[in-house]
Amino acid sequence: MELYSTKHISPNVMLDEAVKNGLPPDNGLYMPIRMEKMKDEFFQNIHKMSFNEIAFEVLSHLFKDYISASDLQNIIDKAFGFDAPIHWLEDEIGILELFHGPTLAFKDFGARFMGRLLEYFLRNNKEVVDILVATSGDTGSAVAHGFLNVKGIRVTILYPKDKVSEIQEKQFATLGANIRVLEVNGTFDDCQAMVKRAFLDEELQAALTLSSANSINIARLLPQSLYYFYAYSRLPHQELPLVFSVPSGNFGNLTAGLFAKELGLPIFKMIASNNDNDIFTQYLETGEFQPKPSVQTISNAMDVGNPSNFFRILDLFQNDWKAIKEVIEAYSFDDEQTEQAIKDVYAQYGYIMCPHTAVGYLGMKAYRDSTHLKANYLVLSTAHPVKFGEIVEGIIEQVVEVPERLNEVLGTQKLSIPMENDYSAFKIFLMQNK
């Protein structure tokens, strides 16, 4: 599988190099050179397939024998051992629950697959690869658990102080072993900027073998496209148009859906559902992309003011704003609207949503109310509501049951290291602890 940079300056690379490096030298983002459509036979039989069977067919199609069938099957089986069911609120409105993995967040799909894929590519390596990750919440826990004790890999996670939930923090900041955690006195954008700068630092590059497990890494996005296919396979009315509403922060999840569409999945419309960080909504309205400092909301994993994957979306559509508007709708909602959605859905359906899922629900409802389109509406539910229990319980006035595996981490000691928002301090830490 060959990939190119969205900046079209760095030379093309094969999949293993793209996964190991994370970013191209020109600071673009890696994209597959070809995404040929899946064969009609695949879609005719998809409703008979399990998640792992769909994963094997799609990834085999993408990789084109770059990884042997037996090795690919082994990677898939190690990465995916949990379901992604649809909870139907109404006949045409479903919640695609992506939180049944080990850390109760959708990022388990991408992080666990990337961990096993990188382990496969490093099987003959003697040097340690340093994974640098910025997280606004769920990425940190998914990556930490996906890479915990994976041979030849050391992970450094940066997260903004006081801007993630206690459960999120405990899931990634208590593990030790090959997982190191830095608590940065700043925002997610500050953390992401430090990680990106590290990849462009020639002195660091000479001293360490660096890679990233954020959604900037193509190995995170490819497996996230799989549950779009799986959701389609479970639809009771496949003849209706298919509309996905995606809670959007760094736009990796929505980009993965666009990959699925490129591969032939009959997606009619993608809805980018944003919180008060409305950069993409403004872009679709004006045609101008204007990043700005992120603002803190109750849907904190989406608090991104400069979404990296925006440039993958631009590349997919060849910088054609009008073409993007034909496929993607965008809406933005504030905390008050998000809280009201959580309350209303619980009152009407008895279903509990996390704040991110609530933003996705609002985007779906806004599009449906404005178009009156009869369709399959699927809202991507990105995290279990218990991960935001304090917020959700205060809204619905009910206790959210804590799964046993989360109870186990709540009493553990935080091992994170405090750090100022200072790249030089981050660099010194990496150089002194290699």
Catalytic residues: 107
What order do you get walking across the sheet with 179-185 strand by strand?
209-212, 129-134, 153-160, 179-185, 417-420
In angstroms and rounded to an integer, the radius of gyration of the C-alpha atoms of the chain is 20
Query: How far apart (Å, rounded) are the C-alpha atoms in residues 289 and 280?
Result: 7
Report how many helices (DSSP H) and strands (DSSP E) the chain contains, helices first. 20, 14
- Inter-residue contact 131 to 195 (CB < 8 Å): no
Residue 96 corresponds to which amino acid? Answer: L
- Inter-residue contact 220 to 114 (CB < 8 Å): yes
Give the DSSP H or E segment for 198: helix 188-199
- Inter-residue contact 13 to 3 (CB < 8 Å): yes
What order do you get walking across the sheet with 2-5 strand by strand?
13-14, 2-5, 30-32
Phi and psi at 129, nearest 5°, equal -100, 130
User: Tokens for 16?
Assistant: 């293993």
Helix/strand/coil for 236: coil
In the chain the first and final C-alpha atoms are separated, in Å, by 31
Which of left, alpha, beta for 44 (phi over 0: left; psi -120 to 50: alpha)? Answer: alpha
